[in-house]
Amino acid sequence: MKDFKIVFRSSYGGFLHYYIAWGLIFFSTIASLFNFIPGTVTRNFMVGIFIVFLFICSMLKGINRNIFLWIVLMIGITLINGYYLKNPNIYTVNFVPYLTFICALVLCWVGEMRIDWVDIYLKGALMAYCIYAGVTVITRFLPSLYINHIAPILAGSNSQSLVAFYKSGCMAGLTLHYSINGMLITVGVLIIYSKILLYKKTKKDYLIFGVMILALLFTGKRGHLIFALLSMLVVYFINSGKKIGTRWWKILRAIVLIIFAGIIIYKYVPAARVVFDRIVEMFESDDITNNRTRWWNVAITYFKQNILFGIGWGNFAGLCARVEGYYAHCHNVYLQLLCETGIVGFTIYISWMVKCLYCAFKNFIYARDIKMQDEKDYYFMGFSLGYQIFFLLYCFTGNPLYDEEMFIPYFISCAISLYYRKRILRGDIKAIQE
C-alpha cells in the first residue's frame, strides 16, 4: 500500500507538470494570435486560472523557502504603486502581460522541483517556433499571400503597418510586429542550437537551424541577431574543453565561419540583406542607440524623483505618453526597473538575475567536466545558460522583461539553473555519472 502511494504521488506530480509545460508553451508562443480569443475578460480569466493551477501544484509539491522568498519579494515589488493595482477593472484593463509575468515568477517556485517538464516545453515550443519561422520564409517569397491574405486576417483594416513592414524587408510573419516575430524565432534558434551542440542531433535539426537563422535574418532585427550570436559563441567557448588555448582556437574558427557565412548570405540571398544594411547604418549613424536615449532620459529623470520605490511597476509607458506623446517602454530594462521600482526593486531583480546566471555558469562548467549518462541534462543546462546570456544582453536595448515571448523562456531558464544547482550542491548529480 505504501509503494502504491509513492507511485501515485509521483505520477500525479508528473501529470501536473505535464499540463504546466503545455500551458507555458501556449502562453509563450501564441503571441499576437492571442488577440483572436474574444474579450478582455476571457483572456484575463485564462491566465488567472493558470496562476491558480501553478499555486495548487506548488502547494502539493512543497515549498522551497529560499525560492519562495525571492518570488514573494519580486511579486511584492510589482504591486507597490503598480499600474495594475491602481487600475483593477478586469473588464477594461488588459491584465494578460502582468498575470503572465506572475505565472512566470511562480514557475520558478514550482519548476525547480523537477526537470521532466522542461523536455516537453522545449519540444512543444520548438514546434511552434518552426511554424513562425516557416511562415516567415515562405511569405518572404510569396508577397501576394502575405499582403492579400495573412496581413488582413491578422490586423483587419489596420493591416497597412504590416504591409509597410513587409515592403521595408522586415517580416512580421504571423505576428503584429516584426520585433515580436524576431523574439519568437530567436528563442527557437537558441533551442535548436543547444540541441545540436550538446545533445543528439539529426540532419533535420540542421535543416531547422538553417531555416530559423534565415527567418531571423528576414525579420531585420539587428539586436536579436547580434545578441543570439554572442550567447551561442559563449556557450560554444565554454563547451570547447578545459584548455584555454583550445577554446580560443575553436572560437576563432567559429567567428571566421560566421563572417564567411554572412558574406555568402549577403551576396546570394538578397532578401536577407536588410538586417546587414541596418547593422551598417547603425554603426555609421551619429546615434548608435537609434534614438533610444529619449526614453532613457525620461527614465533617469523620474528615477531621481522616486529613488527608493520608483513610480510603480507598469507605469513607465503612461509616463512616456505624457512626456514624449506616445506609449513606449524604455528599451532598457535596467533603467526601466530603476524608474519603476527604485533602488529597492532594482536590487531585488538584479540580485535574482546575477544569482541565476551564476548558477547557470557553474552548472554548465561542472557538467562539461564530468561524464554524464544522460546528455539531455547537459542540453538543458546549455539552453539555460545561452538564453540567460541572450536575455540579459537584450535587456540593454529592448524590453524582454515586459514581453511574454521573452520573459517566460527566461524564467524557465532560471528554474532549470536553480534545479541543477540544488542537485549538484546536494550531491544528487552523482546519480547520473558513469
Model pLDDT, residue 430: 57
Q: How many residues does the chain have?
A: 434
Report pLDDT for 242.
75
Average pLDDT over residues 4-23: 58
**According to the model, what pLDDT value does residue 256 have?**
92
pLDDT given at position 434: 44
Model confidence band, residue 12 (pLDDT cutoffs 50, 70, 90): very low
pLDDT band for 8, please (50, 70, 90 cuts): very low
Q: What is the mean pLDDT of residues 264-285?
A: 85
Q: What is the pLDDT of residue 342?
A: 94
- For residue 3, the model assigns a pLDDT of 37
Q: What pLDDT, in 10s, does the model give residues 150-179?
A: 999 998 878 999 999 999 999 999 999 999
Q: Does 279 score more than 70 pLDDT?
A: yes
Mean pLDDT of 363-377: 81
Q: Per-residue pLDDT for 368 more than 60?
A: yes
Confidence at residue 44, expressed as pLDDT on a 0 to 100 scale: 87
Domain limits of the chain?
2-432
Cα 236–chain centre separation = 20
Q: Which residues contact 120 (CB under 8 A, 6 or more apart)?
A: 18, 21, 22, 25
Residues above pLDDT 90, as percent of the chain: 49
Angle at 414 between CA 106 and CA 62, to 5 degrees: 45
